[in-house]
Amino acid sequence: MAISKEIYKALEAVVGSQYISDDPVICEGYRSGPGGYESGLGYERVMTKVPGCVIMPRTTEEVQRIVKVCYRNDVPYVPYSTGFYGSRSHPHVEDALLIDLKRMNDFKLDEKHFYVEVGPGMIYSPIQEECMKHGAYVVIGGGGAQASAIANLIGDGWSPLSHRIGLPHRRILGTEVVMPDGELLKLGSLAEGDDPFWGEGPGPDLRGLLRGYTGLRGCLGIVTRMAIKTLPFQPERLEPTGISPNTALALPEKRVKWINFVVPSKDAQVQAMREIGHAEIAGAVTKVPLFWRAIAKAECKEEFWDLWSKENEETVANFFIVRVLLIGYTSEEQMEYDERVLMDIMSEVGGIARRTKPSDESWIKNADSAGMWLMCGGYVSVDYVIETLSQSPDHGPSYADLKRKYTPPLMPDYGDPGWFQSFELGHQGYSEFLVYWDQDDDTNPVDQFYVDTSKMNIKNRFYTSLLGPHQPLYLTGPQYGPNYHEFLLKVKNEFDPKWKSHPPVPLAHDVFVERAPWMHHMKDWESPDDLPK
Amino acid sequence: MDVRSRLCEIVGADNCSDDPVQLRIYESDFSYTPAGAANYVAKPASAEEVAGIVKLCNENRIPVVPCSSQVHFYGATIPKEGGLVLDLSRMAKVLEIDPDNRRVRFEAGVTWGQLTRELKEKGFRVIMPLTPPAQRSVLTDFLEREEPTNQVYDYGEPLQAMEVVWPTGEIFRMGSASVNGYPDSPSKGGNPSGPGLDFYRFFQCAQGTMGVVTWTNLKIESIPKRDKILFAPIDDLDHVMDFLHRILPRRIGQEVLLLNQVDLAAILAEEWPGDFTRLKDALPPWTLILVISGLLRRPEEKLAYEESFLDQVTRNEFSDLRLGENLPGFPGLRNRLLPILRNPWPADVPHWKNRVKGACQSLFFHTRPGKAQQFVTKVNEIAARYGYPGQDIGIYIQPIEHNRACRPEFTFFYNPADEDETATIRALYREAAAALLKEGAVFTRPYGDLAPIVYERAASYAAALKRIKKVFDPNNIMNPSNLCF
C-alpha cells in the first residue's frame, strides 16, 4: 500500500515539511548501491527497493510518533543511520518509509565515568577524537569511523583492539529503544531514572533484544539513544599526520607502539597469541591477510594489482605475521614491562621483530573499510566470528577451500585464509574471512558461495556470525541451539505482530533464496509454505 | 499416573519426594522472606532429566523453583506458590578445564568450594565475589551478577556460552555452544552471544524465572606468582574515591575494595563476640584493600611498575593517604586477608554476615562513586529513625570497571528469632530502598520486597519483561511471584 496523503500529512506533522519527502528524486538517493558492502549482488538486486518516503526525525519522541503512525496505518518502515550494511539496511518492500536517523547526532561525553551518550546519527570519528582528548578510547569496528556508533554496537563492534576491550555487547549501557509498535523501552539505569551510566537490568537483561551475536538489522525496533562505555587509554596525544588519503596518527612511542613480528609458522602465530593472552599484556594482537599489506601500500587499483600479482600460493602460504599493539596504560614502565614479556614470548616461538612505522593508519584511527573496495569494487565479509583460538585458526582455511570452487568471480587470492586474532586476552579467538569480486562478472556464484558457507559451518560444527537475518533462517535455525529460529520468531511476533519493522527481516534471506532462480538448486532445507513471496 | 510417580520415572525414586520433612529444608533461607512450602522436590542428574521434569510441570501447570546452591540469602528459592523444587545439587560435575583458552565448563550444582579446589590443582582461579560461601553455586553467582572484587579486566563478565532448559522443556545451547554436536566441535563455547538474539541476557538476574541453566562455560585466570596486599585507613570516602579514580583507570591492582569497620571486623573476627567487638572499635572507619600481583611472566617486574606508579601518585598527589603493607595497629593482617579474598568462605564456619547476629539483610545497588558518601549519609539517617545505630551497619563498597561505577552494599544484622527486630529491619530495608531509588541508586537485582519498588519505577521495562516472559514461559511456571512475574 502506497503512503497516502493522509498518512504523509500525519508524518509531516511530526517532523515538519523540511524533514520528510516522497519526491522520487530524493527517494532515489536512498537506493541501495552503487558500491558499498555487498553491493551489486543478487540480494541487492532482488530484495531492495527504493523507499516510498523518507523522514528525518530529531528526537526519540518523534521516532515514537512516526512508528505509531506507521503501525496504525500498516506502513512498513526501515531505520537507517549511516547505511554501512548497504543492501541489508534498505527497504525490502515497496512503498516503505525510510527513517533516516542522521539528525539524531547528539553527543555527550562523561570523562570521569567513561562513557559517551550518543544518538544513532553519531559516527565514530568524532567520538574517538573526543575520547582520546579525555584519556579514553573506543573500538572502531570494521565498518569504519564513518559508521554510526549505535548501529555498529548493535550489529558488530569489534576490531584488533578487542584483544583487550572485548565483546561489544558489554559496552552497551543505558539505552532507549522505540519498539516496533512505537512503545518506548528504556534499558539499564535509564529504566529507573535519567542517568544512563549503567547497562544491566533491572532483573533479566533486555539488552538481549538488541542483537544476537550479530545484529538484527532493525527488525525489532529502533535504538534512539545509547550510552556507550569507553575504556581508559593512556594520556599522551596521538598526533594526526599526513594528507588525505594517506593519513595516520603519529604514536608517542613510549606509550603506544605497533610491532610487527614474522614468525616461522601458523602454529607459532597461534602460540604467540595464546601466550600474549596468558601473560595479560598488549592492547591488540592480530594476524591479517597478506593482501591487506598490498591494500595499505597501494594508492590506486592498478597499483594494488601490480603489488598483488607479485604474490603466489607459496608466498601466501608462508606469510606468518603477528602484529602487536603495546599501550602504556599505566606508565612508560608498564609498556617497557609489556615489551620485555612480548620479546620473551617471541623469542620462544621464533618471532623476529620487523621495523614498524611509529604510526597508526587504521585500527585506532578509523578502521579500514574504505580500502576494501579498492581491488575489485565488490566486497563482503562472509564471516566474522568470535569463538576461541581453538576454532579461529582453522576456520579461515575451510573458507579458503570452499572459495576455490567459486573463483572466479571471487578474486584470486592464492588461498589466503583470512584474518584471525585474540580477543579478551586470549579467552576468545576471532576469525574473519573477506571476499572480493568484480561487479562486471556474473556474480550469481557469489550469492551461492555465501549460502554454501553456512552449510560448510554447519557441517564442520563451526560457530558463525552469519545467523539470524544474515542467512536463510530456516537453514541455520534448526542447526544452532537447536531451533533458535523458533525462539527468535516468537519474540519477533510478540513485539512486531504485524511485521512492520523492516519486513521481511529476519526472513529476508529465505525470501531471497525463493525469489532468485539461481539459488533454487542450493535449497536443501525445509521452510514453511507461507514465507512472504 | 500421578505427578510423583512420573517424577520417579524421570529421576528415580531416590531422587524425588513429596515428604514434608524432606521438603522442609527448602522452606526458608537466611533472608526474612516468609517460609513457603513446596509439594515436591526432584533432583535431576542431567539436562535430559531437567527437561523431562520441566515439561511435566509445564503440562500440569506446576510451579518449578530451580535451586542450585546449598545456602541462600535472598529468598529467591523459597517456593511462593508451592510446586516443585528442582534441586540441582546432583549436577555437580566440572565437565572440562581448558587451559589453552582459560575456560572451564561445569554444571549448575558445582560449588565455589569444589570449583576453586579443582582449578587450583591446574594453576587457575575464578575471579570471585567477596567471600562467596563454599557451598554456593558458582553458576548462580555469576548469573545473578555478583560483582567480583577483581575489576582489572576490561571485558568484565566472565560467563560464556551455556545450556538451558526452556520453561516448555526444550534443551537449548546458547552462544558458540549452539553448534551441532557440541562439545565435540571446534567451537568451544567461548562466546555467550547469539544465536539470533542474546538469549543469555534474559537469564541474567532472572532468579530462575526464565528457565533452568544446566551448565555454563566460564573464563578462568592464571593464579598470580606474586601478590602484595596493601591497605590504607580511610576517613574520607570522597577522598578515597578520587584516589581510585586516579589509579584504577591506569589498570592498577587485582582485588580492590573498601570495607567499613563493621564488615571488616566481621570478616576478620575469630573469637566471637570478643574479637568482633574489639576489631570494630579499633579499625578505622574505612579500609581500602588493594592487591597488586605479578602474573605468569616476570612477576617481580610487574609488581615493581605498579608499586612505582602507586608511589608516585601517593607521594605527589595523595600524600595524606597511608597506603602500605600493614594497616597501622593490625600487624599480620596481610597474611590473613589475602587467603580470605582468594578463597570461598569455609562451609564449616558460619558466614561472617550471619555470625554477627544470626541473620542479615543486605541492600546493594550501583551508583557513581562520587555519590557513595551521599548514600551512606542517607542510609544512616533512615537507620537512625528505626533505632539502628549507624556504627552497626556493615558497608562494603566495590569499585567497578576502573572505578567508573561502584556497588555499595549496606548490611543490617539482626536476630531472626526476634520477630520485632526482624520486622524493624524489614521496614528499614524497604524505606531505605525506596529513598535511595529516588536519589538515583540503580537496583539491578530486585529480590523480594525490592521488586515491586523497583518495577513500579521501571514500569515500561517491567511491561516488556512480562512480554518476554510470556514468550518463553507461557504458563508462568518458572519460580512465580518473583521479580515482576
Same-domain pairing of B112 and B152: yes
Residue B135 lies in a domain: yes
Residue B183 lies in a domain: yes
Residue carrying the nine cell digits 519498539: A179
B207 contact residues in A (CB cutoff 8 A) = 203
> Can you list the alpha helix ranges (DSSP code H) found in A496-527?
508-515
Report the C-alpha gap between A138 and A158 in whole angstroms.
Answer: 10
A458 contact residues in B (CB cutoff 8 A) = 180
Segment B266-279, tens digit of pLDDT: 999 999 999 999 99
With beta carbons less than 8 A apart as the criterion, state whether B64 and B39 touch: no
CATH for A367: 3.40.462.10
CATH for A163: 3.30.465.10
Instruction: Return residues 227-246 of B near A (CB < 8 Å).
Output: 245
Query: So what's the ipTM on this one?
Result: 0.96
Rounded average pLDDT over B237-253: 97
pLDDT tens for the 533 residues of chain A, in order: 579 999 999 999 999 999 999 999 999 999 998 877 888 899 999 999 999 999 999 999 999 999 999 999 999 999 999 888 889 999 999 999 999 999 999 999 999 999 999 999 999 999 999 999 999 999 988 888 889 999 999 998 899 999 999 888 899 999 999 999 999 999 999 999 999 999 998 999 999 999 998 889 999 999 999 999 999 999 999 999 998 778 899 999 999 999 999 999 999 999 999 999 999 999 999 998 888 888 888 888 889 899 999 999 999 989 999 999 999 999 999 999 999 999 999 999 999 999 999 999 888 987 666 667 777 888 888 999 999 999 999 999 999 999 999 999 998 889 888 899 999 999 999 999 989 888 889 999 999 999 999 999 999 999 999 999 999 999 999 999 999 999 999 999 999 999 999 999 999 999 999 999 999 999 999 999 988 76
Under an 8 A CB cutoff, do A164 and B154 touch?
A: yes
Same-domain pairing of B333 and B376: no
Q: How far apart, in Å, do the first and last CA atoms of chain A sit?
A: 16
Residue carrying the nine cell digits 600493614: B326
Across the interface, of A167, A389, A487, the residue whose CB is closest to B193 is: A167
CATH for B18: 3.30.43.10
**B479 and chain A in contact, CB less than 8 A:** no
A250 to chain B nearest CA, in Å?
Answer: 22
User: Around A337, how many Cα atoms within 13 Å sit in the side-chain half-sphere?
Assistant: 24
Under an 8 A CB cutoff, do B250 and A468 touch?
A: no
Residue B451 lies in a domain: no
Residue B259: domain span: 224-345
With beta carbons less than 8 A apart as the criterion, state whether A429 and B189 touch: no
Estimate the crossing angle of helix B237-247 against helix B299-316, to 10 degrees: 130
Q: Residue A119 corresponds to which cell in the numbers above?
A: 544518538
Under an 8 A CB cutoff, do B442 and A192 touch?
A: yes
With beta carbons less than 8 A apart as the criterion, state whether A227 and A196 touch: yes
Mutate to test the interface with A, among B97, B200, B213, B297 (most CBs of A within 10 A): B297
* pLDDT beyond 80 at B199: yes
Mean pLDDT (chain B) is 96
B256 to chain A nearest CA, in Å?
Answer: 16
Domain final residue pick, B87, B111, B130: B87
CA angle B16, B18, B19 (to 5 degrees): 110
Report the C-alpha gap between B138 and B132 in whole angstroms.
Answer: 9
User: Around B395, how many Cα atoms within 13 Å sit in the side-chain half-sphere?
Assistant: 26
Report the C-alpha gap between B121 and A508 in whole angstroms.
Answer: 51
CA A36 → CA A88, A258, A379, A439, distances in Å?
Answer: 11, 29, 8, 11
A510 to chain B nearest CA, in Å?
Answer: 15
Mutate to test the interface with A, among B100, B310, B472 (most CBs of A within 10 A): B100
Buried b vs exposed e over B90-111: b needs ≥16 C-beta within 10 Å? bbbebeebbebbbbbbbbbbbb
Report the C-alpha gap between B118 and B122 in whole angstroms.
Answer: 7
Report the C-alpha gap between A28 and A115 in whole angstroms.
Answer: 37
Question: How many domains does chain A fold into?
Answer: 3
Beta-carbon contacts of residue A171 (< 8 Å; ≥ 6 apart): A138, A139, A153, A157, A165, A228, A229, A230
Rounded average pLDDT over B375-380: 98
With beta carbons less than 8 A apart as the criterion, state whether A217 and A227 touch: no
B378 to chain A nearest CA, in Å?
Answer: 18
Residue B390's SS3 state is helix
Under an 8 A CB cutoff, do A468 and B156 touch?
A: no
Under an 8 A CB cutoff, do B205 and A164 touch?
A: no
CATH for A11: 3.30.43.10
Residue A10 lies in a domain: yes
With beta carbons less than 8 A apart as the criterion, state whether B479 and B208 touch: yes
B201 to chain A nearest CA, in Å?
Answer: 5
CB–CB contacts below 8 A, A to B: 329
A210 alpha-carbon distance from chain centroid: 14
Domain final residue pick, A431, A453, A475: A453
* pLDDT beyond 80 at B213: yes
Residue A490 lies in a domain: no
Same-domain pairing of B75 and B153: no
Q: Residue B22 corresponds to which cell in the numbers above?
A: 524432606
Domain final residue pick, A32, A66, A100: A100
A170 contact residues in B (CB cutoff 8 A) = 155-157
Under an 8 A CB cutoff, do A330 and B250 touch?
A: yes
Q: Residue A3 corresponds to which cell in the numbers above?
A: 503512503
Residue B239 lies in a domain: yes
CA angle A422, A423, A426 (to 5 degrees): 60
Same-domain pairing of A401 and A266: yes
Residue A529 lies in a domain: no
CA A120 → CA A57, A64, A99, A495, distances in Å?
Answer: 11, 14, 11, 21
Report the C-alpha gap between A425 and A279 in whole angstroms.
Answer: 8
Instruction: Return residues 425-444 of A near B (CB < 8 Å).
Output: 425-429
How many CB atoms within 10 Å of residue B331? 9
Under an 8 A CB cutoff, do B196 and A490 touch?
A: no
Beta-carbon contacts of residue A529 (< 8 Å; ≥ 6 apart): none
User: Around A119, how many Cα atoms within 13 Å sit in the side-chain half-sphere?
Assistant: 19
Same-domain pairing of A269 and A402: yes
Residue B244 lies in a domain: yes
Residues in a beta bridge with B42: B16, B86
Which amino acid does the sequence have at B333?
A: L
B133 to chain A nearest CA, in Å?
Answer: 23
Domain final residue pick, B345, B373, B391: B345
A114 contact residues in B (CB cutoff 8 A) = 249, 401-402, 404
**A212 and chain B in contact, CB less than 8 A:** yes
CA angle B282, B288, B291 (to 5 degrees): 125
CATH for B334: 3.40.462.10
Domain final residue pick, B313, B345, B377: B345
Same-domain pairing of B210 and B249: no
CA A24 → CA A28, A51, A52, A95, distances in Å?
Answer: 6, 9, 8, 11
Under an 8 A CB cutoff, do A216 and B197 touch?
A: yes
Under an 8 A CB cutoff, do B191 and A203 touch?
A: no
Question: How many domains does chain B fold into?
Answer: 4
With beta carbons less than 8 A apart as the criterion, state whether B137 and B212 touch: no
CA B74 → CA A13, A135, B29, B470, distances in Å?
Answer: 51, 40, 8, 25
Same-domain pairing of A167 and A209: yes
Domain final residue pick, A52, A67, A100: A100
Same-domain pairing of B420 and B431: yes
Q: Quick one: which of B380, B289, B386 has its CA closest to B333?
A: B289
Q: State percent of chain B over pLDDT 90.
A: 96
Buried b vs exposed e over B185-214: b needs ≥16 C-beta within 10 Å? bbbbbbbbbbbbbbbbbbbbbbbbbbbbbb
Same-domain pairing of B64 and B140: no
Residue A194: domain span: 107-232
Under an 8 A CB cutoff, do B205 and A204 touch?
A: yes
**B456 and chain A in contact, CB less than 8 A:** no
